[in-house]
Structure 1
Amino acid sequence: MKNKPNDTWLHQPTNGVWKSYTIAEVIDEGSRVANNLLKQGIEPGDRVAILAKNSYAWLAADFGMMLAGIIPVPIYSTASSETIDYVLEHSEAKLCFVGKLDDCSAAQASLASIPVITLPDANAEYTGAQDWQSILDTSTPLDSYHSPKAGDMATIVYTSGSTGKPKGVVLTHGHLGAAAVETKNRMVGGDELHRIMSYLPLAHITERSVVAITSIYGKVELFFSEGLETFVDELHHCQPTDFISVPRLWAKFQAKVLAQIPDEQLQEMLAGDGGDAVAAAIRDKLGFGSCGNYGSGSAPISPALLEWFHRIGVDIAEGWGMTETSGLACSNQPFTVEGMGTIGTPLACNEMKLSDEGEVLIRGEAIFEEYYKNPTATAESFAEGWFRTGDKGVKDKNGAYRITGRVKEQFKTAKGKYVAPVPIESRLATNSLIEQVCVLGSGRPAPMAIVVLNDQGLSKEQIKTNLEKTLSDVNQQLESHARLDRIAISETTWDVENDLLTPTMKLKRDKIEAFYRSSIDSEAESGVYWIAQ
């Protein structure tokens, strides 16, 4: 970054107007704010939280604190007051940066007893808060930068907590640096300019790590988004060369296309003489006219969805990683058709293997070593120096891994047989009508699937016929004890706001099970039916 201070780095929209920042401008703002923190009595090694949506100031605060040796502690902008309280108390945060939030009430209650600095896009008043701009106007940059050792703490990142309280993952400068170098080699190598949308939460280590990597090691410009309402226009403005998303959003892109043209008709057009032009037009309409590198992570993506996008020239490389692996740890990059549906091979800085039970184990330079103030959880998470990821997987003849589910996701039916839900969900998701799916069945006579559908303009009778065929087709592929006795259709979309998804779009299975308890317990229904709202 020292060698390119005047390069344009970040692009921030505000009420539809874009403003660009150079590397030098962002570092200057971050340095001034960090110097102000030091003058307030915050010391190197102290923790300071960031509670905000992605923005240029989020990164300026993050980088500025690291330059001063202060430990950033990101919090998801969608976090509940209970989570905010827990993270602030557990990390012993001395101050919190607050930006734009969809629901300010949770933050206002939690931040009443801690000093606050509001970022430029903050949309609420906080008692006694300091203002970002006023700090810039009255502060000078740091006289010198903190020079950390590889083993020094860089950040504490709290897991999104699909079950139980979040754990604070301690990541060192060495962990982040090792992941950075190897991820750069796979994603943004070369001298060409990369344009990337930063819209997945920076509070998640993968988004933050990729942003940091591209910022430090690649020739990259980052574009932020003001929200869902403006995202499509912002995506077209950015014209990304690289685009990373999560399975649910990839499914929404597919649904957007299929809402305009039935899939059968589309496939005929793609197979015709003008198929390449049709595919290019679809990519351009989606905002991918300049894109050549696509990725998906956070949760398993349906092989059928990967194949559908492949047919329109969108080759999605599936990646895998965790907070504990400093972000990306394994990926099908460079993309290969043979590797489609796998998470590819591990980064060169890491080693992976499978336990006798099929659990994915990993060790290496980018792998964390401790949970903050939780030695018991730390000890339980390692076996002879290997981190136990909790994911089950298989390895193919080419050395590529495929994730088949979570160790603890398996459930036992009333028949005493264990069922792994993820492979069944992947089979159900081959039906493009299904946007979200969760297979449940602990203690039930048979497993069942709850689904949320895309709107493709079909009648209820057409939907019922469609899903009955899917139910029959999928059951024919399953062992008898794993066959579904029903597909229940929910008209409630699962999202972060109703606490049925984590901030990284993973299913909260226990919450979904509790939400639909009456339907799960009912034996009056079978086949395909709608859940009474």
Structure 2
Amino acid sequence: MREFSLPALYEVPADGNLTDIVRRNAAQHPDVAVIARKSGGTWQDVTARKFLAEVHSAAKGLIAAGVQPGDRVGLMSRTRYEWTLLDFAIWSAGAVTVPVYETSSPEQVQWILSDSGATACVVELDAHAAAVEAVRDTLPALKNVWQIEAGAIEELERLGQDVSEETVDERSSLACADDPATIVYTSGTTGRPKGCVLTHRSFFAECGNIVERLRPLFRTGECSVLLFLPLAHVFGRLVQIAPMMAPIKLGCVPDIKHLTDELAAFRPTLILGVPRVFEKVYNSARAKAQADGKGAVFDKAADTAIAYSKAQDSPSGPSLGLRIKHKVFDKLVYGKLRAVLGGRGEYAISGGAPLGERLGHFFRGIGFTVLEGYGLTESCAATAFNPWDRQKIGTVGQPLPGSVVRIADDGEVLLHGEHLFKEYWNNPGATAEALADGWFHTGDIGTLDEDGYLRITGRKKEIIVTAGGKNVAPAVIEDRIRAHALVAECMVVGDGRPFVGALVTLDEEFLARWAAEHGKPAGSTAASLRDDAELNAAIQEAVDDGNAAVSKAESVRKFRVLASQFTEDSGHLTPSLKLKRNVVAKDYADDIEAIYAK
């Protein structure tokens, strides 16, 4: 058993709640832009003073509509300014936010709103309103539903005209640090989602210590962050609240379809995202270079960036020759890549899945350091992260200051700290199991080095045991294979089988480019190319790279390219893009059997 901790850098208030943040910002930084809203295609700054006024206006409407202290209020929307506004308004009314993924089905909406006992709900689009309406007769506690695109903010402002500021101030001060701030329903790879109760204390401990440990990245009046993660996910909530605590300017966009355009317009100094975002940036840049006939130059630049980053970890640092090559490629390649990322940023924080060492070294080598972290819904997002000044690529960093990470005798990662969740809503059995002996049992397998840096090597429940008795952690090799531009998703199989295999889906965007470059018929798809010899040779390269990270017994011997994608709509991915392994295994049972057919 091994454990590591760091002293807290932020003192969690003995009392108080998250509404204190917006009131403090308005008092101490009234004219500082704490958030920006997109209007008419342009960004408009909102000062701390104005944001507080808009929060209170919406809170008055909620109070007038009958929302009571402690009530749960559903919030179903894409990432946008109004979500953040309503989040703080719900807390200012003394209530609890219950986020709902905007992609949720009516059945999922019904479960979350009924299990939480929501008395009101705010949705964004017609489709969201229809999803709630389809199950409303099964939600007797639900009294009010407002729609953002149908004027919800204006309606709440009108409803609250007769509610006084004193009333809002009184409601805002009712919740204490240990009261629930939000109930985040885990996306659930199996079974029904559990409602994870996160308190105001959880967010104070989480965001306060992150801001203090990464203070150079959170300089008031200088720094900014662009939020494009779903706010129904706990990582999105972290990205929303931490900038408010700093405070630095926060911008919100609904998706990553036009992310490069949004980055160029907003020009954030800090990006918080998931590995797929950084993989896309790299793969898109490489594909464009190849299309322009500059693929060889890009590959040399990438190799130089990786070598330069690795040399920074050595006592002697980069050699003179490497520094000269790096300087040349900085003008030719790296500067353009940094411009794609907004042109002002030097750091990003990545979470939600492993980033991969090669990608970590590549980005640090081009002058844009991606700090990898690790966390769960139950740990209020990050429970470990790499510090800006002492990064160890390949690890998920050191514990959140003020918390403890312990590795149990069986390798499971255990957590302790004020940032942890309070309970699973209406589920005392699951709560007792997860919080045994005062430690949260993550279900993840990991190791701690002598400096307290954590590596996650797999999921306890996802360990594959081959027929030969070899234990295989799928995540290690899956992440390496998935880093290939042609690969969208990869799932390792082999439980009880004679060897390890893999199911692979293709990235549709890069498949089209690859097909054109290799003379395949126009309009070629994964279904038409899955048995193509050249395509399978390209995927074999990705598999070979993955195999290099594991022992021979753990390596993928055979793979099968699938004709379709793993998506949230198909039911194979959770809203946070985690594989639903049992569903994939069931739906693609024939493909798995084909891997092991003699």
TM-score, L = length of structure 2: 0.80
Residue identity in the other structure for 1:82 = E
In the alignment, structure 2 segments of 5+ residues that lack a partner are 1-24, 305-324, 519-531
Q: Which residue of the partner structure matches residue 50 of structure 1?
A: 75
SS in 2 for 1:261: helix
Would you say the 8 A contact 1:81–1:109 is kept in 2? Answer: yes
Distance 1:30 1:480 in 2: 58
Distance 1:258 1:492, change over 3 A: farther
Measured against aligned partners, the alpha-carbon deviations of 1:497-518 in whole angstroms (never above 9, x if no partner) come to 3222222222222222223221
Q: Mapping of 1:417-456 within 5 angstroms?
A: 417-429=470-482, 431-454=484-507, 455=510, 456=513
Q: What SS class does the counterpart of residue 59 from structure 1 fall into?
A: helix
* TM-fit CA distance, 1:296: 0.8
Tell me which residue corresponds to 1:266. 298
- Cα offset for 1:519? 0.4
* Corresponding position of 2:576: 504
Q: Given residue 32 of structure 1, which amino acid in structure 2 is its aligned partner?
A: S
Range 42-51 or range 311-320, more displaced: 311-320
Distance in 1, Cα, partners of 2:419 & 2:275 = 25
After TM superposition, list the pairs within 5 Å mapping 1:456-471 onto structure 2. Answer: 456-457=513-514, 459=518, 460-471=532-543
Is 1:513 the counterpart of 2:585? The answer is: yes
Aligned residues, how many?
A: 517
Q: Structure 1 residues 111 and 341, CA, compared in 2 at 3 Å: closer, same or farther?
A: farther
Secondary structure (helix, strand or coil) at the match of 1:522 reads: helix
Indicate whether 1:166 and 2:193 are aligned: yes
Counterparts of 1:152 and 1:9 in 2: how far apart (Å)?
26
Say which of 482, 489, 495 aligns to 2:554: 482
User: Which amino acid is 1:31 matched to?
Assistant: H
Deviation at 1:524, TM superposition (A): 7.1
* Counterparts of 1:192 and 1:8, CA distance in 2: 8
For 1:21-50, what per-residue CA distance to the aligned partner results, in whole angstroms no more than 9, with x for missing partners? Answer: 222333223222222222232210111110
Contact kept in structure 1, 2:61 and 2:160, CA below 8 Å: yes
**Could you say which structure has the higher helix fraction?**
2
| Paired-residue identity, % | 30
CA contact (8 A) 1:169 1:372 kept: yes
3-state SS of paired residue (1:236): helix
Q: 1:472 & 1:173 partners in 2: Cα distance?
A: 47
Q: Does 1:68 align with 2:93?
A: yes
Question: Could you tell me which residue of structure 2 aligns to residue 221 of structure 1?
Answer: 249
Q: 1:99 and 2:153 equivalent?
A: no
**Residue 279 of structure 2 aligns to a residue in which SS?**
helix
Deviation at 1:179, TM superposition (A): 1.2
Q: How far did residue 77 of structure 1 move?
A: 1.0
Q: Is the 8 A contact 1:206 1:327 kept in 2?
A: yes
**Is contact 1:32-1:142 (8 Å) kept?**
no
Aligned-residue CA RMSD (Å) = 2.5
**Other-structure match for 1:371:** 424
How far apart, in 2, do the equivalents of 1:153 and 1:524 lie? 50
Amino acid corresponding to residue 253 of structure 1 in structure 2: V
Shift of 1:320: 0.9
- Among 268, 276, 292, the alignment partner of 1:248 is 276
CA 369–377 in structure 1, closer or farther in 2 if over 3 Å, else same: same
**The 10-residue stretch of structure 1 (134-143 or 234-243) with the greater mean CA deviation from structure 2:** 134-143
Q: Structure 2: which amino acid aligns with 1:267?
A: D
Partner SS state of residue 402, structure 1: strand
* Cα distance between partner residues in 2 of 1:471 and 1:199: 31
Q: What is the distance in 1 between the residues matched to 2:155 and 2:548?
A: 66
The superposition leaves residues 198-227 of structure 1 with CA deviations (integer Å, 9 ceiling, x where unpaired) of 110111122212321211232x11112244
Specify whether residues 249 and 269 from structure 1 end up closer, same or farther in structure 2 by C-alpha distance, changes over 3 A only: closer
CA deviations over 1:41-90 (Å, ceiling 9, x no partner): 22101111101111211111110121221111111111122211111001
Please tell me whether the aligned partners of residues 245 and 297 of structure 1 are also in contact (alpha carbons under 8 angstroms): yes
Q: Which has the higher contact order (CA 8 A, sep 6+)?
A: 2
Q: For the Cα contact (< 8 Å) 2:279–2:483, is it kept in 1?
A: no
1:236 aligns with 2:290: no
Does residue 1:134 correspond to 2:147, yes or no?
Answer: no
TM-score in terms of structure 1 length: 0.90
CA 1:192/1:186 → structure 2, altered by over 3 Å: closer, same or farther? Answer: farther
Superposition deviation, residue 469 in structure 1: 4.3
Instruction: Tell me by how many angstroms 1:362 deviates.
Output: 0.7
CA positional deviation for 1:379: 0.7
- Is the alpha carbon distance of 1:316 and 1:380 closer, same or farther for their aligned partners in structure 2, counting shifts above 3 Å? same
Q: How far is the alpha carbon of 1:97 from its aligned partner?
A: 0.6
The verdict on how the C-alpha distance between 1:13 and 1:310 changes in structure 2, with shifts beyond 3 A counting, is: same
Paired letter, 1:277: K
Q: 1:186 to 1:462 in 2, by over 3 A?
A: farther
Bigger Cα displacement from structure 2, 44-53 vs 245-254: 245-254
Letter in 1 for 2:555: R
**Quick check: 1:401 aligned with 2:454?**
yes
Contact 2:487 2:539 in 1 (8 A): no
Secondary structure of 2:564's partner?
coil
- The answer to whether the 8 Å contact 1:448/1:484 transfers is yes
Partner of 1:340 in structure 2? 393
Q: What are the Cα deviations for residues 416-466 of structure 1, in whole angstroms up to 9, with x where unaligned? A: 443211122234345444342221223433221122334252534433223
Name structure 1 gaps, 5 residues minimum.
123-129, 527-533
- Find out whether 1:85 has 2:110 as its counterpart: yes
TM superposition shift of 1:326: 1.6
- Find out whether 1:207 has 2:236 as its counterpart: yes
Between 470-479 and 67-76, the greater mean CA deviation after superposition: 470-479
Q: Could you tell me whether the CA contact under 8 Å between 1:77 and 1:101 is conserved in 2? A: no
